[in-house]
Amino acid sequence: MRDVVTTPASYRPDGAMPGPITPGGAPTDRIFADGAPRGSDFAFDAATVRVFDDMVNRSVPFYGEIQRMTCELAAEFAAPGSTVYDFGCSTGTTLLALDSWLDPSVRLVGVDNAPDMVRCARERLDGLTPTRRREVRLVDLHAPFVVEDASVSVMLFTLQFVRPLHRERVVRTIAAGTRPDGALIFCEKVIESETLFNRVFIDKYYAMKRRHGYSDMEIARKREALENVLIPYRVEENRELLLRCGFTRFQEFFRWYNFAGMIAVK
């Protein structure tokens, strides 16, 4: 039986966290606006990095609450002296949030395959008081990588961008480098077995994006750009993958139409 790790009060924020994530004055996402030049596939390049915080807040439902839940769960499973990884750390938003929740003996490691994202995340972490070990690594999950002494790994909308042929190896690598009773916390876009619900849920998602200021043109252009890049699984497929690769317990903890938050424990 796992011993419950109680987060010290000094590392557990009491106020609402974080909402909105986007700092005031952050550039507005207009990447897929009419007339904006863009390649055929979505890429995490310099243009995306510049507007990423605005993009994710307007594109991911309950993004602030997902961040809070991720931090709460990470604090529950993070062991003193261990390492917490954030795979697909992007601009460092989750790393910054985790930093305020976790015991200072916990090392934070951010991982991303986009040089512009890594540079941004490093700059943000460099601005923090040096109270713990922190680093951001440039790593492509499609190539071999190393995970060491992890008590928690976080993947927020990252595994869906890993090509399916590589996902089992990625999850096995994370599981192999995770301490017993350690956790993998991840959120993904998901699909349903029933095509009716797929269609309805996607329609509701696009309605949310319209409420957040995206035009039909922007929605359509981004959908086309993501078509061969973002490949979602069903929740059941994710569960089978995690249990097959070394984790022993699995639970869905968040759901909004075609978005799901899941946790697996070794």
Residue 59 marked ligand-binding: no
User: Binding residue per annotation — 90?
Assistant: yes
Name the CA radius of gyration of the chain, rounded.
Answer: 18
63 is in an annotated binding site: yes
Say how far apart CA 192 and CA 232 lie, in whole Å: 10
* Residue 258 counted as an annotated binding residue: no
Residue 221 labeled ligand binder? no
Query: ω before 20 within 30° of 0 (cis)?
Result: yes
CA atoms within 13 A on the CB side of 254: 24
Contact 98, 185 (CB under 8 A): no
- Hey, is 249 helix, strand or coil? strand
Does 205 count as an annotated binding residue? Answer: no
User: By C-alpha distance, which of 31, 39, 37 is closest to 58?
Assistant: 31
**Residue 103, annotated ligand binder?**
no
Maximum distance among all Cα pairs of the chain, rounded to whole angstroms: 57
**Binding site: which residues?**
63, 88-90, 112-113, 223
**Binding site for S-adenosyl-L-methionine: which residues?**
63, 88-90, 112-113, 223
